Amino acid sequence: MQRRYRTVPDLKAHESARALAFEDAALAGKLTAMGLLPGTLIEMVRSAPFGKAYYIKADGVRLALREEEAASIMIDV
């Protein structure tokens, strides 16, 4: 399946990409306040033991995001 962009859950462990934009205004409010902005370098660290959540680094800051939160962040291909 070809898409014009990917989202954070598409990243493999230790893969990095830059955030482009957000798909949801409410989640964008929360994420930008925490310092995750368009242009931020996102590194996938690992997914949660029981799934549905991701451990990422945003410009070196460690964050835990839920599936929906991670999927609302569009990243470059």
Query: Which residues are near another protein by CB under 8 A?
Result: 22, 25-35, 37-38, 45-46, 48-53, 55, 59-66, 69
Tokens of 13: 């462990």
Q: CB 77 → another protein: shortest distance, Å? A: 23
**CA quadruple 4, 10, 12, 18: dihedral positive or negative?**
positive
13 and 56 in contact (C-beta within 8 Å)?
Answer: no
Smaller CB separation from another protein, 3 or 14? 14
Q: CB 25 → another protein: shortest distance, Å? A: 4
